[in-house]
Amino acid sequence: MRLDKLLAHMDYGSRKEVKELIRKGYVLVNGNVIKDDDFKVDEFNDEINILDSEIKYEEFIYIMLNKPEGYVSATYDYSKPIVLDLIDDYKKRNLFPVGRLDIDTHGLLLITNDGNLAHRMLSPKSHVDKKYYLKYDGKYNESFIQKFKDGITLDDGYKCMPAEFIDLGDNEAYIIIREGKFHQVKRMMEAVGCNVTFLKRISFGNLVLDESLKEGKWRHLTNEEIESLK
Ligand code: URA
């Protein structure tokens, strides 16, 4: 890859700005100052430094976001803020959210540029568990547990796969589902006569929301977390 392209790709500046860094002699490849912006580097094996800091090229980026309400889980929206607006550092890395949370849903959202991983995690055949914490209006009934296990039928006649309802008392619960139909949790609760008033995803497959991440904040996944998704 061209040196200027790599640096711009890694968000060290616009193409013009990184060319300037290179011309000023701030960029070293394998210990040698390179002033030629179309110099070709092996992004996986060459040691690249800007002054004293080493640049690590990673093809794929994996981010955990604690989504606040008010953000659309998409890469573009004509009127509302999108979840990628919360992650400024990687504008040019083609990031996208893996699946969707409703605009008013909070919690764990995986953001990446790894299309294969996203495809695997979202494939209906993969049956990846998603755990939600919710508050709801309506009257709890012990029969919810069996109804969720048997498969709730939604308003459009679709029968959901077996799911888990875990009562927490005081109109709070966890629900674990293995599919991702439109507004699924809210519609499942409607099917048992309740109305979700707060919804937060706390896990997605093996990935668990880091509760130390404040709403609207994100961090890179650890290597262990990345491995656990693969
Ligand atoms: N189910 C919903 O109803 N909304 C979400 O955002 C996720 C699951």
pLDDT above 90: percentage of residues in the chain: 82
**103 plus 213 within the same structural domain:** yes
Q: What is the pLDDT of residues 51-80, one digit of tens each?
A: 988 988 888 999 999 999 999 999 999 999
**107 plus 173 within the same structural domain:** yes
Range of the domain at 48: 3-55
CA of 27 to the centre of ligand 1 (A): 47
Q: Report the residue among 102, 106, 175, 209 best suited for mutation to probe ligand 1: largest number of ligand atoms under 8 A from its CB.
A: 102
Q: How many domains does the chain have?
A: 2
Is residue 228 in a domain?
A: no
**86 plus 194 within the same structural domain:** yes
**130 plus 188 within the same structural domain:** yes
Q: Residues 83, 97: contact at Cβ < 8 Å?
A: yes
Q: Whose CA is nearest to atom 3 of ligand 1?
A: 183
Which two structure tokens, joined as six digits, stand for 146?
């069996």
Is residue 230 in a domain?
A: no
Q: What is the pLDDT of residues 164-217, one digit of tens each?
A: 999 999 999 999 999 999 999 999 999 999 999 999 999 999 999 999 999 999
**46 plus 124 within the same structural domain:** no
Minimal CA–CA distance to 229: which of 112, 74, 103, 68?
Answer: 112
**44 plus 140 within the same structural domain:** no
From 11, 46, 77, 102, the catalytic residue: 102
Q: Residues 201, 108: contact at Cβ < 8 Å?
A: yes
Q: Residues 220, 61: contact at Cβ < 8 Å?
A: yes
| CATH number for the domain harbouring residue 128 | 3.30.2350.10
Give the global pTM. Answer: 0.86
CA of 184 to the centre of ligand 1 (A): 5
CA of 227 to the centre of ligand 1 (A): 26
What is the C-alpha separation between 163 and 189, in angstroms, rounded? 12
